[in-house]
Amino acid sequence: MTKPNHLYLLKYFYVIILFISSLQVNSQSIFSEFALTGKGDLVLEGSNIRLQPEVFEAYKNMQAAALEEGISIKIVSAYRSYNRQKNIWNRKYNKYISEGLSPKKAIDKIIEYSTIPGTSRHHWGTDIDIIDSSVQQPDDVLIEENYNANGVYENLKKWMDNNAEKFGFYLVYTNDENRKGFKYEPWHYSYLPISKLMLQEYSKIDLLKLLEASNLKGKKYVTKDFIEIYYFENILDINSDLK
């Protein structure tokens, strides 16, 4: 009897692993509106920094690989609840109004980087904001200049550019000059195998109805026309690989 070819067995084993992985992802393919809008009904792992289990495992693998090359990846923001995002929104709204901005201009200022609560990708437990904790930390960590050439996180950015996608993490808000919506965020990555599915499910939500039920500062200025533009520019105009 002929012995099995070792290369064939290795290929067969690899196919099985991929099949099991696909089952794990497919088991996460249906999400409730609560889960998609940060109001609960989502399985998360961790304490202060929380992620979906599959995302957390992929992150740990990426973190370990980066550490071998002297890069110490640290998450500064992962899952955010609806209430947490609402507090961020209301705090910024009050700040900009106190500085003399009109309500409409205050909202335009907020959505340069921050989302309307209920619309954040950080609600999904798939997205992370990262820094390199092995370097001297600046006063403001999540600003573009830190990730540019000669910035404190320059090496982190180079490593992520070369390796992040191998672990399933993709930059969300790229520096494509034709992209609209949120400004360039070189620190914000999303775990594609799950977040892509969640975005598809999210497209079924009635955002106007969601906001009508919210206690949001400046809510009356978040009109139907505003939401339509916000949806296509801020939610959908992202790295095309994630859509």
Per-residue pLDDT at 22 = 40
Name residue 171's amino acid: L
The model's pTM is: 0.87
CATH number of 34-242: 3.30.1380.10
**For residue 180, which of 137, 224, 235, 228 has the smallest C-alpha distance?**
235
Q: Three-class SS of residue 66?
A: helix
pLDDT for position 25: 41
- The pLDDT score that the predictor gives to residue 16 is 43
Question: Helix-strand-coil percent breakdown of the chain, rounded to 5?
Answer: 50, 10, 40
Domain boundaries, the chain: 34-242
**Sheet of strand 188-191, all strands in order from the earlier edge strand to the far edge:** 73-77, 127-132, 188-191, 169-171
Digit-coded pLDDT (tens) for 143-156: 999 999 999 999 99
What is the distance between the alpha carbons of residues 180 and 62, in angstroms, rounded to a whole number? Answer: 29
Q: Burial of 133 by CB count in 10 Å (0-12 exposed, 13-18 middle, 19+ buried)?
A: middle
Kindly report, residue by residue over 8-62, the tens digit of the pLDDT: 444 444 434 433 444 444 345 579 999 999 999 999 999 889 999 999 999 999 9
pLDDT at 6: 52
pLDDT of residue 213: 84
Query: How confident is the model at residue 29, as a pLDDT?
Result: 56
User: In the chain, which residues have pLDDT < 70?
Assistant: 1-29
